Amino acid sequence: MKKQNILFNLDDTLSFCNRYFNLVIDEFADQMMAWFDTITEENIKQKQLQLDVAAISKHGLKSDRFPESFVGTYKYYCDLTGREKKKDEIQYLRELGFKVFEIPVEPIPYMNETLQRLKEEGHELYLHTGGDEANQRRKITQLELTTYFEHRIFISEHKDTTALSDILKTIKADPIVTWMVGNSLRTDIVPALEMDVHAIYIPAEGEWQYNIVEVNVDHSSAFLTVDSLQEVPDVIDKHIQDQIMYVDR
């Protein structure tokens, strides 16, 4: 079998992530509704999402962006309703936001089996994750991912086509035998197709709105969607077999 380079995303591809953010956002919204009786849960969540996403273009995927979106939402509604801003409430919200980074991560079902099989098949596995170094390293350690990725780990604060292009240059990857596997249309799939590497999209539960974009890219690489991580080795195998048949014809 022809050896492939397979880049995996981490959050919501190999380990759960959205569910922890959504839990903490629910707790935030409950607290806000207790303080502000005139605003709805939907309004609170919309404002938080808007501030969180707006900060990415300025600051990248740094961890403190998320707690600051709670504080920003609180201040916005204080101004709107004339409620006094209280230091202890701001502190409480900041700490609540940071709680998401303390929850131990759980692997997506079949994470180990899938990575182990691809490794045994002789493929070169890479991890490409967005976020800040400390938080992503914490998860990599908890999940013991160096077993599969060793030093082939890339952490980007701005996870976009430029970041992927830099990685491909560093690892000297031929796009014909290179794959990106991830849950984010915006930061995994579009950059992959723009670089003409093969993309496998695995939709995640409770997806963050930021990750969902329309895919409108000219590409000659494969673009596949699967329901679960477990299906990845088979679809890559099948693609390789199809290529061999095509060449032999």
What is the contact surface with Mg ion in residues (CB under 5 A)? 9, 11-12, 183-184
**Nearest-angstrom CA–CA distance, 206 and 94:** 23
φ, ψ for residue 5, nearest 5 deg: -95, 120
Nearer to Mg ion, 40 or 228 (CB): 228
Find where tokens 């002789």 sit. 122
| Chain residue whose CB lies nearest Mg ion | 11
Considering beta carbons, is residue 31 or 63 the nearer one to Mg ion?
63
**Least distance (Å) between residue 81 CB and Mg ion:** 36
Q: Report the residue number, 178 or 184, with the smaller CB distance to Mg ion.
A: 184
User: How many other β-carbons are positioned within 10 Å of the β-carbon of residue 116?
Assistant: 14
Cβ distance to Mg ion smaller for residue 73 or 187: 187
CB of 80 to Mg ion, least distance (A): 33
Shortest Cβ 10–Mg ion spacing (Å): 7
CB of 124 to Mg ion, least distance (A): 20
